[in-house]
Amino acid sequence: MRSLYLVSLLLLTLGVAAAAQAKSPMALFPGTELEWKDGPSSLPKGAKLAILEGDPTQPGTFTMRLRFPDGFQVFPHWHTQTEHPAGTKHFAWAEGETILQLHGQGPWTITYVNAADDPRTPHP
């Protein structure tokens, strides 16, 4: 009886694991195979972007990488959706080329603390 219980438990565990894998298979994203594009207009010029999964402009989960050149700065800002966590004011800078991987909930937005720091704001 105990053997039957253990076999049943093993089969149930394997079935649950297989179902989880079918929903979200693990994937590797070697840096040499990424398609880098110019970063979004919400970041200063020079940023590059590679989408790994999902669509950061739409509702739902996403994973993306940002590549910043040496000396790159993102002034204080916050995000309306979760980017671990939402609403927290923070900033970024790069010493040397820097690649950052972000996981979050879309749509991904940036709201700058000081509107004048927003690269989308026209400057006279």
User: How would you write the pLDDT of the chain (124 residues) with one tens digit per residue?
Assistant: 554 443 444 444 444 444 444 456 778 888 788 999 999 999 999 999 999 999 999 999 999 999 999 999 999 999 999 887 888 999 999 999 999 999 999 999 999 999 999 999 987 7
> Does residue 68 form part of some domain?
yes
CATH assignment at residue 43:
2.60.120.10
Burial class (CB in 10 A: 0-12, 13-18, 19+), 42: middle
Indicate the number of domains in the chain: 1
Per-residue pLDDT, 76: 97
> Does residue 6 form part of some domain?
no
Per-residue pLDDT, 96: 97
- Quote the CA–CA distance of 5 and 11 in Å, as a whole number: 10
Length of the chain: 124
From the list 80, 109, 107, 94, the residue with the least C-alpha distance to 48 is 94
38: which residues sit within 8 A by CB, 6+ positions away? 47, 48, 49
Q: Which residue has the tokens 């438990």?
A: 9
pTM (two decimals): 0.74
Neighbours of 46 (CB within 10 A): 15
- Quote the CA–CA distance of 76 and 51 in Å, as a whole number: 23
Per-residue pLDDT, 23: 56
> Does residue 14 form part of some domain?
no
